[in-house]
């Protein structure tokens, strides 16, 4: 508790707030009056920024944009359609909870479950293995979405299935890599990003050094921060300092958890079973080498290859602007459906479904 209190200390927050305002004034002058746009690329940051009211204490010249950091939000709706198609073939579908409420073309996985199909919510990917062992006569598919943070635990399904000789389990993969997405965002002329507040969980796996290419290519700060209010304020302070000095680098402020080189165990697991692949992102479209596929020798654990399924782009619900929200081009409240047609109890798009979605954060915290 004492540890947490240290990152929620109001006096320290007041000092940081004054520093941020002073630095922002300096940077604003240097940039000839242009506002500074900082993008956070982590759903947990998005929620923390909303929960602690960070936006309300920043100067008007600093704006926080929420980027493609929520794994559910960036997953193309065609993926939901594919999962439903597999359920309708009589397979057991295992998934993390958020996914069951994301609308596909015809239904959600929750709707599919109500219709009698076998959709199971898991807290750990390895539960899919237990279910496969309990039902050797049936096929079990785990919905493997997400960034480097969740890839390790999901891919351990393959590792353990090989060791335990379980063959009736597979993964419907839609894994994403953060760094190619950051390059894609920087390459979009319609989005102005002056700094990244880098994702903390992903950085634990890939390491701080992974962002050096972003700094070298675009000459902007990349600051890794934790999730407590002072973590985030220190992160913003660090970004402003780099802009004030016009000296840009990767600044790992979450070094109590993140190392320079990341987690070697998970990296080795990924190298063993996966290979980079093109991936389709909601909002960002197809990005070269921005995902991971199972290597050919493990194709029997890839649900698409095992069941001869092709993932196709899904349909965006009428009026839903999740794609623009994910890119930081539109604030959630600017979507005409926000808070009226689209609410957490009746979500139209994934950004309202997910506990890490920008629209859910804006609805909950204002």
Instruction: Quote the CA–CA distance of 346 and 198 in Å, as a whole number.
Output: 31
Could you say whether residue 72 binds ligand SF4 (CB under 6 A)? no
Could you say whether residue 119 binds ligand SF4 (CB under 6 A)? no
Nearer to ligand SF4, 233 or 361 (CB): 361
Residue with the shortest CB distance to ligand SF4:
349
**178, 232 contact by CB (below 8 A):** no
Which two three-digit tokens encode residue 94?
């295992």
From the list 26-34, 62-70, 111-119, 319-327, the region that binds ligand SF4 by CB under 6 A is 319-327
Smallest distance from ligand SF4 to CB 271, Å? 36
Could you say whether residue 359 binds ligand SF4 (CB under 6 A)? yes
Nearer to ligand SF4, 156 or 343 (CB): 343
Q: What angle do CA 159, 165, 170 make, to 5 degrees?
A: 60
CA-nearest of 168, 162, 155 to 125 is 155
Could you say whether residue 169 binds ligand SF4 (CB under 6 A)? no
Q: Which of 27, 65, 161, 342 binds ligand SF4 (CB under 6 A)?
A: 342
Going by their DSSP bridges, the two strands 195-198 and 222-224 should be labelled as: parallel
Which phi and psi angles does 162 have, rounded to 5°?
-65, -45
Could you say whether residue 322 binds ligand SF4 (CB under 6 A)? yes
Q: Which of 141, 352, 356, 361 binds ligand SF4 (CB under 6 A)?
A: 352
Smallest distance from ligand SF4 to CB 337, Å? 4
Q: Which of 28, 349, 356, 361 binds ligand SF4 (CB under 6 A)?
A: 349
3-state secondary structure 171-184: EEEEEECHHHHHHH
Instruction: Quote the CA–CA distance of 347 and 344 in Å, as a whole number.
Output: 5
Q: Which of 119, 223, 232, 348 binds ligand SF4 (CB under 6 A)?
A: 348
Could you say whether residue 143 binds ligand SF4 (CB under 6 A)? no
Smallest distance from ligand SF4 to CB 95, Å? 19
3-state secondary structure 231-285: HHHHHHHHHHHHHHHCCCCEEECCCCCCCCCCCHHHHHHHHHHEEEEEEEECCCE
Smallest distance from ligand SF4 to CB 220, Å? 26
Binding site for ligand SF4 (CB under 6 A): 320-322, 325, 332, 335, 337-338, 342, 348-349, 351-352, 359
């Amino acid at each position: 508790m004492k540890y947490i209190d240290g990152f929620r200390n109001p006096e320290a927050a007041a000092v940081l707030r004054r520093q941020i305002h002073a630095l922002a004034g300096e940077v604003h002058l240097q940039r000839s009056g242009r506002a500074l746009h900082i993008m956070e690329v982590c759903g947990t940051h998005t929620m923390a920024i909303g929960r602690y009211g960070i936006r309300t204490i920043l100067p008007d010249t600093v704006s926080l944009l929420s980027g493609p950091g929520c794994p559910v939000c960036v997953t193309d709706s065609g993926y939901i359609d594919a999962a439903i198609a597999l359920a309708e073939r009589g397979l057991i579908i295992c998934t993390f909870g958020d996914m069951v409420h994301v609308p596909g073309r015809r239904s959600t996985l929750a709707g599919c479950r109500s219709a009698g199909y076998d959709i199971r919510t898991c807290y750990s990917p390895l539960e899919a293995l237990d279910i496969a062992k309990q039902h050797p006569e049936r096929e079990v598919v785990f919905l493997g979405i997400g960034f480097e943070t969740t890839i390790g635990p999901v891919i351990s399904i393959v590792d353990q299935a090989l060791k335990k000789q379980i063959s009736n389990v597979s993964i419907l993969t839609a894994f994403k890599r953060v760094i190619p997405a950051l390059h894609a965002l920087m390459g979009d002329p319609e989005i102005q990003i002056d700094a990244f507040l880098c994702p903390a969980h992903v950085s634990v796996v890939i390491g701080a050094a992974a962002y050096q290419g972003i700094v070298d290519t675009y000459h902007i700060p990349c600051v890794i921060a934790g999730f407590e209010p002072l973590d985030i304020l220190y992160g913003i302070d660090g970004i402003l300092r780099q802009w004030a000095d016009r000296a840009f680098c990767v600044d790992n402020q979450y070094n109590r958890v993140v190392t320079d080189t990341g987690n070697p165990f998970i990296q080795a697991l990924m190298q063993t079973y996966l290979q980079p692949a093109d991936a389709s992102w909601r909002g960002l479209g197809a990005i070269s080498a921005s995902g991971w596929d199972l290597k050919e020798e493990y194709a029997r654990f890839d649900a698409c290859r095992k069941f001869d399924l092709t993932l196709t782009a899904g349909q965006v619900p009428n009026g839903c602007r999740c794609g623009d929200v994910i890119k930081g081009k539109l604030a959630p409240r600017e979507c005409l459906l926000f808070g009226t047609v689209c609410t957490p109890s009746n979500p139209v798009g994934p950004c309202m479904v997910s506990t890490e979605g920008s629209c859910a954060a804006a609805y909950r915290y204002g």
